[in-house]
Amino acid sequence: MIAPSQVVLLAAGMGTRLGELGGGLPKAMFDAGGAKLIDRALNFAERLGARERIVVGGFRHDLVAAHLAPQARSALRLLENTKFKLGNLWTLETALPEIDGAFHLMNIDHVYPAAVAQRIADQPGDLITAFVDFDRTLTADDMKVELVGEGPARHIGKISKQLATWDCGYVGMTFVPAGKLARYRAAVAAVRATIGDAANVEAVLQRLADDGEPVAIGDISGIGWHELDTPEDVERALPALAHIPA
């Protein structure tokens, strides 16, 4: 059973792809159907049962800090990535020194129904696990996954937006058990050394796969979730968000 000690929320983004809808605010502060993305993500993180939620802000960090101040308590910690204009690996690296056990990594611009939290909890959790679905029609901008192996032993072979063939799509969440934390840290360091500022957090999963570390998949197909990255995403998602409690 997956039971993270901490949930890390990548919330440093500028939200530039939202255009005028973003209003010049950090993406975390975008109103997604009556609730800000940061609040939806924090509430979902709480459903995962972790003892601590770590938010890593960046762009207009002051606004995110002011918004979260009334919620300040030991179970919520806010960190600042001052290099938020570079690849989002920096956002992950800002949190890594504060991680001390099993953790769950989430993007701030994805909204998941509560049923996804239960599906996550039901996964075995002894391997690094990337969450995917098999029921979306993936576009050029979606993160695609090619699997290797058979049956329950299937794991990630390749992960990239540029794959020509794939089996499923990554949904923006990864779980790292405590026993694999050192291995994950080493992969982050290797990606930093080889790719540099262009690296994203998914490159860490590819590095693990390349180095022979099995990265399991957790399937959340059949539930549905929403990414809010562009005005088109928002238009598609808003009717459904009205039925997803914040």
Question: Which pLDDT does position 152 carry in this prediction?
Answer: 82
Lowest mean pLDDT, pick from 97-106, 178-187, 224-233: 224-233
Question: Which pLDDT does position 73 carry in this prediction?
Answer: 63
Please report where in the chains the tokens 């080889």 appear, as a residue: 194
Question: Which pLDDT does position 23 carry in this prediction?
Answer: 86
User: Band of the pLDDT at 71, cuts 50, 70, 90?
Assistant: confident
Distance, C-alpha 195 to centroid of its chain: 20
Those residues whose C-beta lies under 8 Å from the C-beta of residue 69, and which sit 6 or more positions away, are none
Q: Which two tokens stand for residue 33?
A: 């159907």
Q: Which numeric CATH code is attached to 6-238? A: 3.90.550.10
- Position 111, amino acid: V
- Residue 110: left (phi > 0), alpha (psi -120 to 50), or beta? beta
Percent of the chain beyond pLDDT 90?
82
User: Band of the pLDDT at 242, cuts 50, 70, 90?
Assistant: confident
Q: Span 175-180, mean pLDDT?
A: 98
Burial class (CB in 10 A: 0-12, 13-18, 19+), 117: buried
Is 221 in contact with 138 (CB distance < 8 Å)? no
Q: Is the pLDDT of residue 175 over 80?
A: yes
* DSSP codes, 88-140: THHHHHHHGGG--S-EEEEETTEE--HHHHHHHHTS--SS-EEEEESSS---T
Question: Which pLDDT does position 21 carry in this prediction?
Answer: 83
Is 53 in contact with 75 (CB distance < 8 Å)? yes
Q: Span 52-70, mean pLDDT?
A: 95
Q: Is the pLDDT of residue 72 over 70?
A: no
Q: Where are the domains of the chain?
A: 6-238
- Residue 151: left (phi > 0), alpha (psi -120 to 50), or beta? left
Q: Is the pLDDT of residue 50 over 90?
A: yes
Residue count (the chain) = 246
Percent of the chain beyond pLDDT 70?
99
